[in-house]
Amino acid sequence: MPAFGERPAIARLVVDNDFGGDPDGLFQLAHQLLCPATRTTLIVGTHLQPGSPFDPSSRQARNAADKAKDLLALLGMQTPVIAGGETALASLQDRTSSPATSAIVHEALREDTGEPLIYAAGAGLTEIARAWRADPRIGKRLKLIWIGGNEHAGLGPVLPGPPEVEYNLTIDPLAAQVIFNESDIEIWQVPRNAYRQMLVDIAEIRALASNGPLGAYLHGELEALLGKLDTMPPAIAATLPRTETYVLGDSPLVTLTALQTPFQPDAASSDYVTMPTPRLGPSGEYRANPGGRPMRIYTRIDAGLTFRSMFARIRAQDGRSRSASGA
């Protein structure tokens, strides 16, 4: 038990993301690490789609882990980082492990802490699916918050234009089916229509660049991504008009974990519905499952709170860096 005056963390976290892809994962990780209300005990770098324009290499997960290590070094922090596997599940029966599997299982089955475990996933679900397959006991020992999945009928606007399978789901649709259809893991889902609300003006991010090393690093990662968009093939570029905003879609992982109410802790400023976990089809379609375990589906995320917190903490961290360097 904590000594008098010590307040426990809301939760300990495994943060799982494709840090080598969309830089929203790096913004989320930096913000999460700067929030002492949660304790990040393991970071897992994960793969993208094969040949992804974000990283077309065969070492996407290792590159993602390297990005996380770079950020930790910049912050002067030490948290275990491991790369997951480089490929999606080969089938629904795939029981192969990755380098991250045993670390995830170990974290879930720890008996030396009373802090609940949240698995915060901002990309595909390969690694949590492999871990659950390896040891299903973890299902009752953690909660999954997932940024991903198609819109649910009647729970908000659908994507403009022709139907498209949501990006994070396409990274490993079989893993998502394992988690939804076979596992007993409690899911808090932030589907596409909810995470698309996490809009920031690019000018706000550019303003951070002159504040210090963390702001400059994150701004640089975003500018590198925007530069890649400018070199896309014409057919793809034609579908990507210039706008003044960017979606930091992984940031709800911070909102729903660290930015909770102090009494009866919960993410009270965001909206969700509770429903039985549906079965997930091969294209991400939801099939009613009245007997399914309860899950949360978030319909609105408090973007204002999230980004006020993020920018304030980045500025404070850069202020500490300037003070330490005597600048």
Q: Which residues contact 143 (CB under 8 A, 6 or more apart)?
A: 116, 117, 118, 119, 185, 186, 187, 188
pLDDT of residue 162: 80
pLDDT of residue 5: 55
Q: Which residues contact 235 (CB under 8 A, 6 or more apart)?
A: none
Tens-digit pLDDT profile for the chain (327 aa)? 444 557 789 999 999 999 998 999 999 999 999 999 999 999 999 999 999 988 999 999 999 999 999 999 999 999 999 999 999 999 999 999 999 999 999 999 999 999 999 999 999 999 999 999 999 999 999 999 999 999 999 998 888 878 899 999 999 999 999 999 999 999 999 999 999 999 999 999 999 999 999 999 999 999 999 888 778 778 777 777 888 999 999 999 999 999 999 999 999 999 999 999 999 999 899 999 999 999 999 999 999 999 999 999 999 999 998 888 776
What pLDDT does 238 receive?
A: 77
Give me the pLDDT at residue 323, please. 83
Q: Residue 321 has what pLDDT?
A: 85
Beta-strand relationship, 186-190 and 294-300: parallel
| Encoded amino acid at 142, one letter | L
The pTM of this model reads: 0.95
Name the DSSP letter for residue 21.
S
Query: How far is residue 314's CA from residue 210's CA, in Å, rounded to a whole number?
Result: 12
**Domains annotated on the chain, with CATH:** 11-199+247-302 (3.90.245.10)
pLDDT for res 277: 99
Instruction: Determine the pLDDT at residue 1.
Output: 47
Please tell me the predicted confidence (pLDDT) of residue 234: 81
Q: What 8-state DSSP symbol labels residue 281?
A: -
Determine contact, residues 76/325, Cβ cutoff 8 Å: no
